[in-house]
A and B are shown apart, each in its own frame.
Chain A
Amino acid sequence: MSAVTATTPPRASALAMSIRQNRGFYGAVLLLAALYLVYNFIHPRGFSANVFIANTNESVALAFVAMAQAMTVIVGGLDLSVGAVMTLTSCIASELVRGEPWQIILGCLISVAAGTGFGLVNGLVIVYGRLQPIIATLATGAVAIGLALLIRPQPGGEVDLDLNWAVTNSIKDLAQTYHLFEDGEAGWLQPIAWVPVPLLILVIITAAVWIPFRRTVTGRTLYAIGSSEGAAYMSGLPINRAKLWAFTLAGFFAGCAGLYLAIQTGSGNADIPQAGAYTLNSIAAVVLGGISLLGGVGTVIGALIGALILRAISFYFRILSIDPLLQPLVEGVVLLAAVSLGAIRTLRVKNRLELFR
């Protein structure tokens, strides 16, 4: 090494560097691609727009919930209320998203704001109440479910049907429903006319919220806290503000999930087991997407990929006549395998005491 001259050594390309630093994320992308490709090959109507639209529709809510979870895991926390907040907002949306167009828009805004506000409350309780995120959100999650049951003791609701149709189909269908872009016949629209609206929603919200947020000082601070809170403090970073933001944005994403779920199903349902399942799946998705549960590593996009992997596994059960009862087993094995790959790192630890820190 010392024989190397003072000139700058050749540097790895940006992509090679990124791959080396984010193995978990790129591994997840490859796994998703492989799973989904094989799925389409064996699907009787594979590689068709309809299958793609149906699949994305089923993935949106979990993807948003996983993104919500990612926000809190990156700061080294965990949010057990994400599924419940989703349920709460879907119940609110099932009451409000109907009527005149302005009422529908207002209803959507109120639903997402409710989720965001709930996240803010989580953050306040955790930051200023100095509670551990797990136990604080376990409690607030129960509160959210309670509120959802008050709003909607029985499943039901009349979400606007046009909106339901427009949001769960292709861009062309959306344009036709609302008579936009020459009823979806505009020439420039054709290359993307087949794209499912649910996918578009995911991409737009991720691009509009996460990508800029990550480049703010607050966003950077999230990673600093998860990586080493002591060093973050010593560097004079705004720790409390960043944690508040993390939980608030988690509420925002969970609110998006709830709103989409209400529009997709046309109704609301304060379903307690469903809320729990979404929360647990969000943790699995986060881990599958290359986010470290210790904090500091991974991105919201990784969580999105992780959620899609979980959904892709479930699609297989529909087309291969496997007993659906085996689904949890398979998902569990995939999760275990992914986590084991991540744990290989600890084999290199030289001071065993560090394993316990």
Chain B
Amino acid sequence: MLDGQAARPFAELSGVSKFFSGARALEGVDFACRQGSIHAILGENGAGKSTLIKIMAGVVQPDSGTLTVAGTQHRFTRPSEAAKAGIVCVFQELSLMPDLSVADNISISDPPRRFSLIDRRAQRDRAEALLARIHCEDVDPRALIRDLSLSRRQMVEIAKALGKNPKLLILDEATSALTSRDVETVYGVLAELKAEGTGMLFISHRMHEVEALCDTLSVFRNGRHIETFLKGARTQDEIVKLMIGRDIVHQFPVKPPALARKPHLAVTDLRWENRLNGVSLSVGKGEIVGLGGLDGQGQKELLLALFGVLRGVEGKVTVGGEGGVPTSPAEAKSGRSRIALVPEDRKTEGLMLPMSIADNLLVASFDKVSQGPFIDQAKSRQAVIDAIAQLQIKLNKPDDPVASLSGGNQQKVVIAKWLLTKPEVMLLNDPTRGIDVGTKQELYRLMRELADKDTAILFYSTDYAELIGCCDRVAVMYDGRIVTEFSGAAITEEALVAAALNITRPADAPAREAVPA
């Protein structure tokens, strides 16, 4: 009977498409997975993996196509419906409530009851049993989630999912927050589940995990399902090629010849919490250094640390030879360091959406347009006009709310705001995310112009093509460290993807890597 089950797919998608405000997340995807199998889903950032699992878990609904689970067609409108059909997801962003206890969280959606009141003893016993199943006996079911470490929280998240008796368990980067000891435990649990006939979808950016655990692999790229194959049918190099494909060609400005540059921004052994584990890096004047790697390897934290946002940063940072980690953005932007950060989320950290375009442009450099305590109207008007002209921001009136602009023009406002402070170091956190191709190309040109005027630029991007096209050097981060640096012609997609997955490739000979024609 087990065999019969294993042969027929448990969950099957056919012709599934999903668009988010016009942008393709998934298109025409046919995909199936079985019970009693650990099935890896591979793909670059933005390949559509998260959308796929969100559709299966009932978080988002597909625009077209069908989802069949155990022979019945379903259209889940909420996660609890998917759970009822046997599909349970362990989300990357934790779904735990920090102020409730471990036992409360594990049984949150269907607690054991007596006389219709929650039976706390039964609930605690249930939590004990589930925690024991994942070998986390040391977690006290009465402890509050907020008092647990990230790794333990992730384990509680797994226990919570197991409590729903999943037939198909989706693990979305479920191991990324775990300590190595917990990772081993989870491997064991997953193997047991597989033997019991549970199906698993495993999304991980760690290639060696996929190799160790999974029996089937599927590659996604640009919202499409490229190929599914059994483990061992493809080499790592082939898998990497499948993930990259051959796609969009961007127009990038010409890079200057490589020069040996004196470091302007120098970072040595930077550490913070467990997210930065000894980053060393330098950026010279007039140089664009890219930060590569998969999402969440410490790139954002590195930029925030350099901008003075994080508390308790250890290590050495010098700008123009003078030292010290800045202690606040106010300090970072002023004084000798003159650092600017274009943040990750322009809507919350970059702009004050209801305020006018003009106010947003001036907000970081009021000191430059003030007379004593008063803002000088004439000076500020001139500064706004100059900034708008420099970045060719398309707008009606500078007094309109910045929220009325398109995404690309909003991003230009963020960048123009920082250019008004005359920065010597620009930190860019994925500045082209969600903006149109034309504006992207303007930004590439602008970056090169700034570099030519001696600005040191540190540029984090999730798009490999950008790193290749824009950067003089690229440092790839993995697990809070810089694992490899490439420069010049050695910056290729294969090299970047392999380094991002922390694979050491047998054919790693940079001299032979020609840019594909």
| Segment among B138-146, B290-298, B353-361, B472-480 that sits at the interface with chain A | B138-146
Q: Which of A2, A17, A234, A296 contacts B99 (CB 8 A)?
A: A296
Neighbouring A residues of B96 by C-beta, 8 Å: 228, 231
Contact of B449 with A by CB under 8 A: no
Q: Is the CB of A350 within 8 A of B272?
A: yes
- Residues on A with C-beta less than 8 A from B311 are 349-352
A53 within 8 A of B: no
Answer yes or no: A325 CB below 8 A from chain B CBs: no
Closest to A17 in B: B142
A130 at the B interface (CB under 8 A)? no
Check A228–B97 contact: CB distance below 8 A.
Answer: yes
Nearest CB in chain B: distance from A313 CB, A = 29
Total chain A interface residues with beta-carbon distance under 8 A = 35
- With CB as the reference atom, state the residue of chain A lying closest to B94: A231
- Selected from A8, A224, A228, the residue in CB contact (under 8 A) with B137 is A8
Q: By the criterion CB–CB under 8 Å, are A353 and B304 in contact?
A: yes
Q: Which residue from chain A places its CB closest to the CB of B137 in the assembled complex?
A: A8
Q: Are A353 and B309 in contact (CB under 8 A)?
A: yes
- Contacting residue for A235 out of B79, B117, B304, CB 8 A: B79
Q: Which residues of B contact A328 (CB under 8 A)?
A: none
Q: Which residues of A contact B323 (CB under 8 A)?
A: none
B273 adjacent to chain A (CB < 8 Å): yes
Q: Does B280 contact A (CB under 8 A)?
A: no
Given A234-B95, A351-B309; A220-B111 close (CB under 8 Å): yes
Q: Find out whether the CB atom of B98 lies under 8 angstroms from the CB atom of A228.
A: yes
Minimum CB distance partner of A216 in chain B: B117
- The CA of A6 and the CA of B181, in the complex, are separated in Å by 12
B172 lies within 8 A of chain A by Cβ: no
> Are B59 and A234 neighbours in the complex by a CB distance under 8 Å?
yes
- Give the chain B neighbours of A353 by CB distance below 8 A: 304, 309, 349
Docked complex: A331-357 residues within 8 A CB-CB of B: 349-353
Q: Which residues on A sit within 8 Å (CB–CB) of B272?
A: 350
Q: Is the CB of A227 within 8 A of B309?
A: no
Does B118 make an interface contact (CB < 8 A)?
yes
Of B117, B120, B328, most A-chain CB atoms within 10 Å: B117
A240 to chain B, nearest CB (A): 13
Known: A9-B138, A21-B144. Contact between A216 and B116, CB under 8 A?
yes
Note all chain B residues with C-beta closer than 8 A to A232.
Answer: 97, 108
Answer yes or no: B44 CB below 8 A from chain A CBs. no
Q: Which residues of A contact B135 (CB under 8 A)?
A: 6
Chain B 91-119, CB within 8 Å of chain A: the 1/0 string?
Answer: 10011111110001000110101001110
Q: A2, A235, A297 — which one has the most chain B CB atoms within 10 A of its CB?
A: A235
Contact A215 B118 (CB under 8 A): yes
Query: How distant is the Cα of A127 from the Cα of B104 in the complex, in angstroms?
Result: 25
- In the complex, residue of chain A having the shortest beta-carbon distance to the beta carbon of B138: A9
In angstroms, Cα B89 to Cα A272, docked, is 53
Asked if A217 and B118 make an inter-chain contact with CB atoms under 8 angstroms apart, the answer reads yes
Contact mask for chain B residues 10-25; partner A; CB cutoff 8 A; 1 contact, 0 none: 0000000000000000
Chain B residues within an 8 Å CB radius of A17: 140, 142-143
Q: Is A12 an interface residue (CB 8 A)?
A: yes
Known: A223-B104, A351-B304. 7 other contacts (CB 8 A): A17-B143, A21-B144, A216-B116, A223-B97, A228-B96, A296-B99, A349-B311
- B-side residues, CB < 8 A to A, are 59, 78-80, 83, 91, 94-100, 104, 108-109, 111, 113, 116-118, 120, 135, 137-138, 140, 142-144, 147, 181, 272-273, 304, 309-312, 328, 349
- 7 CB contacts below 8 A, A to B, read A223-B100, A228-B97, A231-B94, A234-B79, A236-B83, A350-B312, A351-B309
